Structure 1
Amino acid sequence: MKVNPKFLIMMSALAAGTALAAPAPTATSAGTTAGTVITNTATATFTDPSTGNAATPVTSNTVNTTVTPITGFDIVYSDSSADGTTAAVPATYTEYNRPNTLAGATVVTAYTVVNNSNIDNYVVNIVADTTGTGTAPTSVKYYLKTDTTFANEIFSVTLANGGTKEIVQVITIPTVATAGQTYAASPKGTAPAVTTGTVQFPVYNESSNVNTPVTPAANGDLQFTLATIFIPALTNTPNPNPATGNTVTPPTPTTPGTPDNPVSPPGTPVSTDPTKPDPSTSGYSDPTTPSTAIAQNIAGNNQIAYPISGTTTVTFSNVVKNNNSTLSDTVRLFPTDATNNPIGTLNTTTGVFTLTDGTTVRFLSSTGTALPLDANGYPVLTVPSGGSTPYRTLVSTFPISAIDPVPTTILVGVSSGNKAGAVKADATTTDKIVPPGLQFGDVPNTGTNPDGSLTGPGGNAQTADPSATASTAPVTDAGINTDRTVVFPMIISNTGEYNDTYTLQSDTITFRNKDGTTTAVKVKYVDATGTPLPTNTAGDYFTPVVQDNTKLTVYAVLDVPATAAATDGTSPDVTTPSATADYTFVQKATANYSGAVVTDSVKDQITIKAVGSLAVDKYSRINAAIDATFIGTAAAKNPKTANPKDTLNFAIVAKNNYNAPVKNFVLKDSNSLGTTNVYTYSDFQSASATLTGFGVGAAAYFSTDGGTTWATSVTAASVTAANGVWVYVNTDGTLGTNNAPTAGDVVPTGASVQLDISVKVK
């Protein structure tokens, strides 16, 4: 604060005037003025006896007596306070004891020089005595009280016998004076040796006399004025009565009455750590971002903000109290550190501080308006004597790491404007921001942090065996599944700085069944014991409270239908997926308090294992056709007896009982296979194929030359005992060389091929 010296001079002079309102000191003259000659001549009158008449008066000789000087003077407080004081203990009257003096001030106090001698025109020289002062003043000067402009410095006064002279002492305090320094001075008088005519009187020092003439003082007889440099008496704390109220209301759950959100804000359960107070107990809502709860720890002089995800600005409510009951104070506000010096770069036009990490700090009035700036660009706040003034601290663009956010702590300093020197905090308070943070993904191959780039444990899809049973208590590890329950261990990492709970949302997967139908199954979540997590009314799962900077492993579990068709191990998330591609699903974690949302970046993948068999059965009948009714009888497979020339009818049925299509299928009936000799002892009559479960366009192709050539029908002449009859089904419309099968020909799940052959026993 720049001091106006004239202003202070006038104020001090006014105070001096107030002091002079007390009874004025008076001088006690020692008597007749020194040097006065007392003459004494006697005259006798009588009657002359010789004449009888009055005689001529007779005059005696004249006796002269010269009054000798009695020295004695004093300089006293003009308010008649007792003198004989010291630099450390001045007069009790506050005029001479200034505890709130400002650097650069001019301290003016009134004194009276009294002539206690009998000397007229007594000259008293005046000098300043600073014996015992804490720090030397810049200057100490003396003026007559009537010289109100302090135009003519005096070094002495001349006193009439019994007279007084009123003077003022002017102490100039250095502009660099620091808090608590003391400056003291007293006028000290000396009367020089003087000869008046034949009258001489010696040097006389004030320090050797008191008011009583000729009686020397036992101690010194000075009269000090003491100025103590103003000591800031400020406190800077959270505002216990912010305008937004003294109670924090937790956010309303998205589905009222269900545990979509924590019961209370992030302190749940209530923290016993005083550095992490629970905002549900005492605090307020950010006046500019009401979704941010701010908890107060008044005793610890700190407050903590709990911003939700996406918040970039937090506004704290603080208050400065001026415990000095005499002077108001216009304080400077700034961010500081343990040195109490301002930190950051100050924009002197806007008053905004930018810290090294990019955080900006701005100070506002309690209603959010801009504070005035001093000549150096510091925001200033005027605090009345004995009073308090609230203000806001606006913190913006604080860093929030996506990996591991850390708190932003702002130590707010206030520097008194009533002191000299560099800006330095006289009181501080702590405003702290604890940001949220969330990572979510699969258990990593190495380390402990969730990995969103994996398709499953170990980076592999989970394989389900639909022919096995579902687990009643799923194995919650990352091993290979041996049943039809797939398990994906997932890590929720609360990288933030406050507790939270999380809602887990996942897809419902629609599985293709081997009979062509579909079955929808929703992913569920369990804990490490296999116990399902609780769900809200929407059917989504939610976690218990996860403490800040800790992790929770949950398990995404799904029971694959026993009827599920096999997949081919390829991803469905391509431009042109395979018809039998695997299944993938999305997992998402949402923080219930902070609102942070993280989706597992790479979908987890499920492969359905191919299980089942290919059944081949052969049926025979003598002299009668084989139909579906006959195939279902017990006699269809029984041994038969036939006579020469009897007709033997055979039905060979191959059925795909796998949950996956069968490729490279050829049904063969020939002597060369070593399993039949029917073509040795019979004459071929006919062959045909019946297709069941194939798509439109499927066609049977026959070969009688061991697979060299193929045709859609069989002629008796082409059948040989060695090669017999082979059949395949063309399903993709593409034929190989000589109508041979291709890789695209498949037998669908559940499809069957019935090869009917008729021969006549030779």
Structure 2
Amino acid sequence: MQTNKTLALLAALTLGAASAQSLAAAPTTTAGTTISNTATASYTNPATNATTSTQSNTVTTTVLPRAGFDLTYVGGGDSVTTNTPGGAPADYQRAVLPGTTVSFEYVAVNNGNTTQTISLGNEVTGDVSGVTFYPESADTNNDGSLSAEEIAAATPITSVTVAPNGDDTTTPAVENNTGEVNFFMVYTVNPTAAPDAVVGATPVGTGQEYNGTANVQKTETATDLFFQYNQVTVQDSGALIGPRNDADGNGGPVTPPYTDAAGNTITPTASDSQQANVNAGVTAVTFTNTVQNNGDATDTYTVSSSTPGTVFLTPDGTPVTTSPTTVSITPADGSAPYDVTYTLVGGNLVIGGLRPGDSASFQNTIPFTDTTPNVSDTQTTTLTVVSTNNPDRTDTTTNIIRDPGLLFGDNIPTSTNPDAPYNPNPAAQPGQTVTFPMQVVNTGGATDTYTIQPTTVTFPVVGGGTVEVPVTYAPDTNCDGVADGTGSTLTLEPGAQGCFVATVQVPANAVSGTTPPVTQTVTTGSGLTATDTTNTVTVQVTDSNVALAKFVQGGNGETSSNGITAPAGYTTSNSALPGENLNYAIVAKNNFNAPVTNFFVCDTVPMNTTFVSVSGGGVYSTDGGATWSSTAPTTLAAGTPTAKGGEVCVAPADRTLAAGSTFQVNFTVRVN
């Protein structure tokens, strides 16, 4: 990424998206989503004196569409102050020569719960022309920018289609949509543009918005949803700094990857940046950068670094000191070489005597700190060059260091990241086989190998003592929970995920109960280690004789389930808009001919909903029945698009359900 950048005539300038944050609103429930919920009950079986559980029918609610959208900067931030070029954020301000084609990256955000297509228009200020939009896919080399060649090869677009934030639960696929689609705005600063003039443009979106009663067509204005202008200052000369042998940073051509003295591989891009993907433990990387005099007279240039502790060196690796060091320069016109000086002044590099059109390279060693072990850290250093002839003429380039990253834990089918606390804790009878779906994500900047280490599960057995059972692993390359290969090692590209299926054979003489946590460990070829210690196996025998049914107010579903008749006005399914309440009735019936003790009914906040209230019991528990209170809870964790929220358990005051009697819990949640 670059700021205050002067580029050669007709070169392409792009604002990249190195670390865009999520801009979409907290996911609302996707239109067409079916919200399903099932209740459970627990009691002591009077016939066997064993703790027993039972399950209700499933209640469903269909969610209706509610549209919303916005166009904004990468990272957000548009407001009333961005309605003119003067209010553009610093990362959306540029300085270029007349005739230059520039591009800026923006984000289309879906703030609703249904997929929609947003039409792209524009407003311009000043002497610019040829506003065109391109998809993010036009960036064919994935460097976060569009080169002149990429623009020429790409097909313009006039709209973007954006899925809502989260997973579309109406489809079997797991999309994990961000609710965002990036695109590029490209235009030309006209050759007639006056030096020092300030020009700019903004995309203007037209899409669907919910107005309180219906979804209607709406176009962004300066006072409604706001514009998001970029700003370009027209220059007539200036200094350039860029990656090795590419001072203007536009990749014409891109310098091939190279290696520093410590063996770190550095890859230049066409977006005026260089990136080093390093192994764990690396504390510094040495980059090579190039300065060019694109003015009309011999000049002296000062180069500063945004990272404290940067060490400047000559092209051959000699440290620059406060005493001038002479370096020979080969002129661009092929004439005889001449000397320039490299001097350290106030911690900055000063290159003196560089002639018009000529370039001078230098090395800079940048210290790197692994601030978050096992998580990929990205450190960006901005180098700025300033002309002594005209201090207003500056340019920047970026040197990026990324260390390896590793996420490891349970594989949740609805998530692209592992979740260590998820802990599926499978239940099995003695002699059965259980599996743990485990997931690995490469959060680093380079391809890496991931090897899962051998481990065991400890099972108490009948007669006393324990048995250590080995855990076997097989790769699950598409993370669908089914093994599809052999071996214990995966190779993953940057950002890719891979999975293992862990298999455990429960001993035939295993005692009922929950095993100690299983310690599972993954190591990487780059030197990282991650451990998951949350999985257990529950060995148990089940028995059931209490009927449980759940109903929701309204709708036209079934009026009975599991032998239980719904209360008046309740059925097994309905439909609701986001923001409406779902009133559930959970009914348990004791079909034993004896009382059931230690009885309680539990329900969780369904996915895509927020807890409102619970009533109907004498005592309440929010920790699974460990402790009880006569006061009903007023808050529970909300459900998410991919997971249930908090749980509440309800029981009669004496935790006893008389023979043949029923017990009803009233549970209310609001659709997100």
Q: Report TM bin, short chain.
A: 0.3 to 0.5
Larger Rg: 1
